[in-house]
């Protein structure tokens, strides 16, 4: 890549009717309330975060039950809140490796009743939005800039310099852009075939 070029994952626009069936959060009165629509672009982003965080598991739901270090928990009624000591110590859990304090704050903001996969997806998109990257990804795809905005949230995402914001192992901009593009292409093909 030459100087001044921007690294960006390929993006193809699909009509809104090809957005995925949306999982919803429930308000305390039992009525459904949608927080974030799951479009192919957003699903590809979520899958890319899972890939970077080591919870992709070939897209299987097992990633939603993964703790830091690779262990698995069963109870999705709440965040497991168990510290695992490997090379680092962490209580991160779920597909997006939420630490307990982050999960509790986002679950409260979105009124998420449990740690089920659809709620983890909504919480991750909320964090992406709070970092100011969701609109950019919706319109431009997974850009270098968007990755850098997400680096303070997910240690495996590269900052502008290509490093982890936390000194942990990090995926490269190119590797994440490649995964995002391939996953988005696959999701769009599935949407068009249905």
In the three-class reduction of DSSP (H, G, I as helix; E, B as strand; rest coil), residue 189 is classed as helix
Q: Which residue has the tokens 């991160």?
A: 92
Could you confirm whether 175 is annotated as catalytic?
Answer: no
At 66, list the tokens. Answer: 């993964």
Stretch (H or E) spanning 156: none
Out of 41, 53, 109, 175, which one is annotated catalytic?
53
Q: What angle do CA 177, 182, 129 make, to 5 degrees?
A: 55
Triad 167, 171, 172: Cα angle to 5°? 110
Active site residues: 53
């Amino acid at each position: 890549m030459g100087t001044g070029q921007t690294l960006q994952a390929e993006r193809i626009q699909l009509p809104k009717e090809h957005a995925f069936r949306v999982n919803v959060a429930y308000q305390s009165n039992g009525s459904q309330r949608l927080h974030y629509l799951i479009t192919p672009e957003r699903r590809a982003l979520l899958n890319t975060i899972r890939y970077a965080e080591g919870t992709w598991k070939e897209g299987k739901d097992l990633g939603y039950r993964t703790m830091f270090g690779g262990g698995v928990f069963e109870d999705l009624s709440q965040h497991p809140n168990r510290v695992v000591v490997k090379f680092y110590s962490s209580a991160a859990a779920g597909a997006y490796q939420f630490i307990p304090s982050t999960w509790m704050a986002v679950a409260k903001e979105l009124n998420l009743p449990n740690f089920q996969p659809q709620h983890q997806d909504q919480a991750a998109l909320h964090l992406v939005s709070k970092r100011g990257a969701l609109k950019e990804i919706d319109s431009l795809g997974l850009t270098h800039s968007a990755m850098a905005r997400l680096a303070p949230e997910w240690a495996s995402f590269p900052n502008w310099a290509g490093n982890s914001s936390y000194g942990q192992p990090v995926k490269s901009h190119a590797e994440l852009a490649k995964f995002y593009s391939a996953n988005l292409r696959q999701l769009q093909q599935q949407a068009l075939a249905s």
